[in-house]
Amino acid sequence: MVQERTLPKFNAATAQITREEGLLLYKDMTLGRLFEDKCAEMYYRGKMFGFVHLYNGQEAVSTGVIQAMRPGEDYVCSTYRDHVHALSAGVPAKEVMAELFGKATGCSKGRGGSMHMFSAEHRLLGGYAFVAEGIPVAAGAAFQSKYRREVLRDQNADQVTACFFGDGAANNGQFFETLNMAALWKLPILFVVENNKWAIGMAHERATSQPEIYKKASVFNMAGVEVDGMDVLAVRAVAQEAVARARAGEGPTLIEALTYRFRGHSLADPDELRSKTEKEFWFARDPIKKLAVHMLEQNLADEQELKDIERQIQDEIDEAVKFAESSPEPDPSELYRFVFAEDE
């Protein structure tokens, strides 16, 4: 089967985005796509080491959710597929690229690499190598926001946390335990399941007794919603509603975004398990092309404008590579630095 369930329908015309909003979404998704393409090139040229997991195809989820929040104020918790989440959260491309190169100028000083990106400045709570590892961390961030607001009476503490994870993580204990606590305490958090149908090489439908993950929210008396993760306008609309609920003190939302990764699990994956038919089904739903068509049809941009954006972003990424290549390696004398928090 190519498609076990129908993608949720969404009328893009009801999104009512402005030209500025549309261009922002297009730029952010294009940045994510072209950045990941460059990562693949650099990896195969021996500039990056270890495991590198790319996000191609899933850009509408990162952009749709994070751009519905307050980048730099709200919190984002990622997975080992974290480069694009970092970019959407506002981490400069040159700092993300330098981190992938293991350089001292990277957002984690070269200590994190591909799977452990962190930026306190941009409220990026990290990427996590272990499946579901970030879910309780995100809940902790949401709890401190609620505590500061309700106990310490800090009216500025209305931050919302977005926690991203894959379909495979929804079978782990942390998922169920954390959702239970989040619902009990009405934490201001969005649990965003990026259901790309595959947990490494395990098909989602073979790994869970209830493939419709969003329905699991009902067990915790939590709002749950399914969305077409290949449509940035649909994701954004769902995220805006969930963010508003969270900020108003109405508790968490479980968002299941039906999406697809266009590359293998990692750059070391030959990607031989997924059928050609399945891939073609999802390739035809490229979220960036979908938004471009909408922008053109609604006269929010013209083709030359979109091409100019792509060129400008490609230039930005090329500069990021130059920055990463020319940056220094971490000094050996600082081997044990950053193991513990430092006084500012």
- pLDDT tens-digit readout, 244-260: 999 999 999 999 999 99
Q: Which CATH class is domain 17-326?
A: alpha beta
Q: What is the pLDDT of residues 211-222, one digit of tens each?
A: 999 999 999 999
For residue 14, the model assigns a pLDDT of 59
At residue 79, the pLDDT reads 98
Q: What is the pTM of this model?
A: 0.95
- CB–CB of 8/258 below 8 Å? yes
**Tokens describing residue 25:** 């979404």
Q: Which sequence spans correspond to the domains of the chain?
A: 17-326
Q: How confident is the model over 15-34, as pLDDT tens digits? A: 689 999 999 999 999 999 99
49-76 pLDDT per residue, tens? 889 999 999 999 999 999 999 989 999 9
Q: What is the 3-state secondary structure (H, E, C) of the chain?
A: CCCCCCCCCCCHHHHCCCHHHHHHHHHHHHHHHHHHHHHHHHHHCCCCCCCCCCCCCCHHHHHHHHCCCCCCCCEEECCCCCHHHHHHCCCCHHHHHHHHCCCCCCCCCCCCHHHCCCECCCCECCCCCCCCCHHHHHHHHHHHHHHHHHCCCCCCCCCCEEEEEEHHHHHCHHHHHHHHHHHHHCCCEEEEEEECCEECCEEHHHHCCCCCHHHHHHHHCCEEEEEECCCHHHHHHHHHHHHHHHHCCCCCEEEEEECCCCCCCCCCCCCCCCCHHHHHHHHCCCHHHHHHHHHHHCCCCCHHHHHHHHHHHHHHHHHHHHHHHHCCCCCHHHCCCCCCCCCC
Asked if 132 and 194 count as a contact pair (C-beta separation under 8 A), the reply is no
pLDDT band at 9 (very low <50, low <70, confident <90, very high): low
Are the C-beta atoms of residues 42 and 48 closer than 8 Å to each other?
yes
* Residue 319's pLDDT band (cuts 50, 70, 90): very high
3-state secondary structure 136-188: HHHHHHHHHHHHHHHCCCCCCCCCCEEEEEEHHHHHCHHHHHHHHHHHHHCCC
Side chain identity at residue 136, one-letter code: P
- Type of residue at 57: G
Over residues 115-137, mean pLDDT: 96
Is the pLDDT reported for residue 10 higher than 70? no
Give the total residue count for the chain. 344
Contacts of 89 (CB under 8 A, 6+ apart): 66, 71, 72, 76, 119, 122, 123, 124
